[in-house]
Structures are given as structure tokens and as C-alpha cells.
Structure 1
């Protein structure tokens, strides 16, 4: 049985939450990332998510940040068709 988009999203959210919990308060672990990283966030995203991107931007040596004007954390759901 093929997983639905919703069940996949729930699985990803759990994995994201686990990574966040494992690295809580220890963003220095990301300083060793040498790959180019694109940080995407919406200008209408919750403050805690914007703050998280700011913190990551400070520690990731090759990060570039793009703010998607007028979009929130669910940007794919509020994009114009």
C-alpha cells in the first residue's frame, strides 16, 4: 500500500521534530556543514520559525536565505496557481 501525502507529511514532521530535539540548544553542530544551504522561509511564518532560520544562518558557513514574501510555513499550500 502506497503511503498518502498526509501520512508522508506526518512522518517527515516526526523526523524533523526528532532532529530538533536532538540538537536543541546546540546549533554549533551545524558549523561543520560545508555544503551550500538554502534557507527558505515565508514572511508570514511564525516568529519561532523565522528565529530558527536566523540562528541557522549565523552558524551555517555557506548559507543563503530567501524570504518568500506573503507566504507562511505552508507556502506550497498558499502559492498562486
Structure 2
């Protein structure tokens, strides 16, 4: 999807502030001061913001995994809800 493609209410969108682009990536993270080690919170990212959001989380030691939205959905279906 390009920047001008319409995004429906059902389309997951990027978590970057002000971005309304469809998400392509899932950034799985946790804050060890707040979450148990197995807990995974998620941010969604478009291609443009994936590196920026990943870097933000990684600098804090929070980033655990970056996978495509498609892969995340496939894994969640096989393993139950995350």
C-alpha cells in the first residue's frame, strides 16, 4: 500500500505518531520493569517507520522481535492468542 491508498477501519495502522499508513510489521516488546519475561506488547509499523520504532524500543532494551503482520497472525493462530 502506498501513502495515498485508502485505509479502512479494519486495516491495522502504523503506531508511529500521526501516521495513518497500513501496518506491515509487528514489533514485539516488553518492559522488564513492568512485564513478566514472556509477556509481549506490540506496536505496528509501516515500512517507513519500522526502523525508527525498532530503534526507539531497542535503545531501551525493550525490543524482542520484529516480524511481518502476516507472520504474526499466522503464529498467533497456531499458538493461541498472545
The structure richer in helix per residue is 1
TM-score, normalised by the number of residues in structure 2 = 0.30
Who wins on radius of gyration, i.e. which is larger? 1
Larger % of strand: which? 2
